[in-house]
Chain A
Amino acid sequence: MVVLFLTVGVLTPFALAQQVGIRVIAEGASELSELDLGIDVNGIPQVAYWTADNELMLASVECRTAVLRELYAQGGRYASLAPGTDASTSVVFSGFDQASGLAYAMSGGLLDQPAWAPLGFAGDWPVLALDSTGRPYVVYVDHDGGMLKFARFDIPTGKWVVEIVPGPFVEFVGTRRVATVAVDVDDRPVVAYFGGHRNSAHKIIVATRTNQGWTIRTKDLENEGGVSPENGLSLAFDTTNAPHVVYQTAPGDLKLARFGVFGVSLQTVREQQGSPVRLGPRAMHIGAGGRIRVAYFDIGAGVVMLADNLGGWTNEIVDGVTGFNDLRPALAVDATGRWAVAYLSDSEGIIEVKVAGPAVLGTLDGDCNCDNVVDLVDFVELESCLTGPAVSIMEGCECFDINGSTTVDLADVKLLQAAFGDW
């Protein structure tokens, strides 16, 4: 699939037609499902989502197949995912029935099968982050008290410990995803959230949890367009450990606030286009060289977008989405800098879970070894599968039936040759 290019305002035009693959990794998701994405230490994208049958699923997007694991089967909502450094994947959700509140699920790593356990308290809009040793941190909204809370797993007791996130948090009625958490360069959990007055959200607060307590920084944006709390925010750090928060202003600009040592600087990611966007809590990534990517959903255009600041901000369409007006794509980038975006889409009444991006392997026709290039290595494998038009596909050769004729023949060879990529 060819990704269309979209030039924005005075931003540097960046005419690059980029070819990225898109895969439907699962069908039958719930239209109300949240989903989240991470890339594990083996470079495999992991997606958590809810099915229409009230199952929390974890999809491991491997070469030409998605391995699905059920994490919880008694219904619930929310799904915040974080990959661990031990090749495990963790998901925080709110479960019904047995879970009765927020719960934690794990799969992979040292576990021979997925496991879950309740956190022991209820909350909404949880966001999960893991530090480099696998210590989990969860931020969530406690509607009963209208407070933003922070939970961590206390290893000496084996229990979760909860505290209130300090600062001017205001529970804005009708809003969602007004807070997020991430781990900074020093392995400390940092919470970013909107604050202000009940009828006027105009502050961004960044709160860092240290061993001595909380350190808070606030940026008042009342005179700089304010914020639209219902559109969400996302948090990431550059190599100097400066927090970056992406958000949408009230007039509709997509902005990035950098909390540097000497103050907070703002830059425009995309000027207002007349329609709001939706940002997920895990929508931004900052690479080692300062390259920033942001994934978001343009409600008016009905498209998933990727903003990239390589040489200047560009905003490109990743995929058109039907059937949703409140979608929050999730973004992840692997160790080599390849990105992936996960989102839902309605395909004639069936809700699909889709992932797009160069980190998603096996999206190119003929790339049967999933190295993201169609070349002679694939050709050699095709030769061993070549049987001709009168013989059905041999087991294990399905990938080379490029034209879908149920055989592997010279027609597929021709298509493979035509798809040969750059060395």
Chain B
Amino acid sequence: MAFQKAFGCIVLVAVLIVPVSAIDLSWEYQIIDQHANQSRAVSLAMRTSSVWPVAFHQGSNDNSNQMVVSALSPVGWTQQGLGDLFDAFEGGLPLAEAGPDGRVGVVWRTGADARFAQSSPSGWQVASLPLAAPSGPDFTVDFDFLSDNRPIVAQAAQEGIVVSVYNGIGWETDQVVREFDEPVQGMKVSTAISSQDEIGVAFVENGLGFAFKSPLSGDWGTTIVDQQIFPESISLAFGPNDETAIASVENDSLYVSRFDPVTGDWATELLAPQIDSNRVNLVYNSLGQPALAYVVQDEVHYRINRGEGWLDFILDDDPQIQVQPHDSSDAALAFDAEDIPVISYYSQDGLLLAYDPIIVPEPASIVLFLMVTVAAVRRQG
């Protein structure tokens, strides 16, 4: 009897010792910018080996026409303007990524050009590149970093998709995809870099398409992902082992299209029939699990697929901060160095950061539990 009780206690201790799943724990909230309560667009990246969160968003008050970067450091959240912002919606939306060496970058559109900014030891560096012509306010830009930390910027234009690579001196431009048969309005584009530095581009033309540059021939090949959807927003991501997926928002419905290497086909599934965020960013964690976040009414949803379907977690309340999101707010998602999700979005209290930390039981509590267990067993004996 004493042994059975001791065994039961030992099992319980083992459960305590095993780190509890981060997904099941409550979220920590911080206010990034309490004045930023009118905008909706935000993009998030993790700086310096995925440790320090950096949010890119529209400025507030006198800086409302500026792209602003808010970065967390031991002195708190510091802000800096990066340049003019064309519009908080559509083409002017910021899109951020983290580079292999720990830098973070962002791309957005102004009225006259596309802007790229990145962190560096000498501060924020901002560069301009011309818009692919002819363009319009609804044509988007996106970027990613190569393994040598050079940025790749993809732009949509009426004549097709254009990809520009920074060579250290200037931008080299490559025409992706054929010229469109008819002028299109509001072309959307998303780009990502594979583990082998290959460029992938997702775009919308006659449905959802995917383009990939052959490392052997140097030619761009395109494939139809789904002819049934015509998304207003798309997000392409590669996993650590080149898993490939595209998240799309069409008429407020959220879809995820994933390439199955076994069948050689793309498969699209409806993830959420009605969301309020105008766009999402799809990311993979280091385990190759795709994830994204979005707003539905007054809830922020965090979705992740660990291999057995998409899980759905709703961010919980906080006693001190109004965490209910603004209608149509972005919910920008990033993972930290330990695959913990970090989400930035807008609420009535401003621009927020939600962090889901790991909690490891303190050694003292385990020792105390063991002592109590031993005492209980001895008493029974």
B112 at the interface (CB under 8 A from A): no
- Asked if residues B51 and A155 are in contact (CB atoms below 8 Å), the reply is yes
- The residues in A between 12 and 58 inclusive whose CB is less than 8 angstroms from any CB of B are 41-42
- Residues on B with beta carbons closer than 8 Å to the beta carbon of A88: 73
- Asked if residues A115 and B363 are in contact (CB atoms below 8 Å), the reply is no
A157 at the interface (CB under 8 A from B): yes
Which chain A residue shows the least CB distance to B81? A112
Per a CB cutoff under 8 Å, which of B28, B76, B80 touches A156?
B28
- Asked if residues A105 and B363 are in contact (CB atoms below 8 Å), the reply is no
A87 at the interface (CB under 8 A from B): yes
- Asked if residues B73 and A106 are in contact (CB atoms below 8 Å), the reply is yes
B74 at the interface (CB under 8 A from A): yes
Question: How many interface contacts (CB-CB < 8 Å) are there between A and B?
Answer: 79
- Residues on B with beta carbons closer than 8 Å to the beta carbon of A213: 362-364
A110 at the interface (CB under 8 A from B): yes
- Asked if residues B53 and A155 are in contact (CB atoms below 8 Å), the reply is yes
CA distance A102 to B71 in the complex (A): 22
Closest chain-A Cβ to B29's Cβ sits at a distance in Å of 9
Number of B positions contacting A (CB below 8 A) = 34
- Residues on A with beta carbons closer than 8 Å to the beta carbon of B337: 133
- Residues on B with beta carbons closer than 8 Å to the beta carbon of A134: 48, 51-52, 73
- Residues on A with beta carbons closer than 8 Å to the beta carbon of B357: 154, 156-157
- Residues on B with beta carbons closer than 8 Å to the beta carbon of A112: 80, 123
- Asked if residues B76 and A86 are in contact (CB atoms below 8 Å), the reply is no
A324 at the interface (CB under 8 A from B): no
- Asked if residues B124 and A110 are in contact (CB atoms below 8 Å), the reply is yes
Give the size category of A's interface with B. 20 to 34
A231 at the interface (CB under 8 A from B): no
- Asked if residues B49 and A110 are in contact (CB atoms below 8 Å), the reply is no
CA distance A116 to B74 in the complex (A): 9
Per a CB cutoff under 8 Å, which of B124, B355, B360 touches A211?
B360
Known contacts A106-B75, A117-B75, A212-B363; is A155 also within 8 Å of B123 by CB? no
Contact with B along A120-144 (1 / 0, CB 8 A): 0000000000001111100000000
- Asked if residues A85 and B48 are in contact (CB atoms below 8 Å), the reply is yes
- Residues on B with beta carbons closer than 8 Å to the beta carbon of A211: 360
Closest chain-B Cβ to A179's Cβ sits at a distance in Å of 20
- Asked if residues B28 and A157 are in contact (CB atoms below 8 Å), the reply is yes
B16 at the interface (CB under 8 A from A): no
B196 at the interface (CB under 8 A from A): no
Q: What are the nearest 7 A-B pairs in CB distance? A: A87-B121, A156-B355, A156-B357, A213-B363, A117-B75, A133-B51, A156-B28
11 new A-B contacts at CB < 8 Å, known A90-B74, A156-B355: A87-B122, A104-B75, A110-B78, A115-B75, A133-B337, A134-B48, A155-B72, A155-B336, A156-B28, A158-B77, A213-B364
Task: List residues of A whose CB falls within 8 A of some B CB.
Answer: 41-42, 85-88, 90, 104-106, 109-112, 115-117, 132-136, 153-158, 211-213
Q: List 7 A-B contacts (CB under 8 A).
A: A133-B337, A136-B74, A157-B357, A158-B77, A158-B353, A212-B363, A213-B363
